Amino acid sequence: MTTTVLDKNSQKTIFGFWIYIMTDCVLFASLFATFMILRNNTNSGPDSAELFSLPFVLTETLILLTSSFTCGLAMLAAHKGDKKRVGAWLAITLLLGLAFLSMELYEFGNLVAEGHDWQASAFLSAFFTLVGTHGLHITAGLIWIMLLIWRILRTGISNVNLRRLTMLSLFWHFLDIVWIFIFTIVYMIGAL
């Protein structure tokens, strides 16, 4: 096994990707601020404590955190030059991400079926926007994972693929951090 290291151009690209992550921080900070302002505007409808199941969301959280761990294992395998393990860990990350996204869509579907859609109140509008934006980011990450699995299994662990995997890993871990804030602010504080 050979060890793969990023070159100077890759390091510059990854720095640029960090700048993108910072812009996403601004986006999510704006959505969190909006949610915090609107969370009590329920239009005489149910609030967080009445709508959300903490055990369900905790399961969702554990699945996403586990996917972050498996993504990290893919990075370790990549630095060792083991493309089969990278593919395997990314495939597990993909399956866990799909499970998380399925649970999020299930929750959205149940809320809408019960008449609690994004138009029912300012609170639900802010909720669907915040959590839905995170879900869109997860969807983009899942597509990225599929493409990267295909590329790595086809062409190996090149410097370009290692750079792409590093950026994917940053993105995926960032989404986990955002979800921890969502879990804490939207679900846990809302349940109080």
Domain coordinates in residue numbering, the chain: 53-111+122-192
Q: What is the pTM of this model?
A: 0.90
140-188 pLDDT, tens digit per residue, is 999 999 999 999 999 999 989 999 999 999 999 999 999 999 999 999 9
Q: In whole angstroms, give the CA distance from residue 168 to residue 9.
A: 17
Local structure of 49: helix, strand or coil = helix
Amino acid at 78: A
Question: What pLDDT, in 10s, does the model give residues 95-128?
Answer: 999 999 999 999 999 999 999 999 889 999 999 9
Class in CATH terms, 53-111+122-192: mainly alpha
CA distance 123 to 152: 43
Residue 83 is classified by DSSP as: H
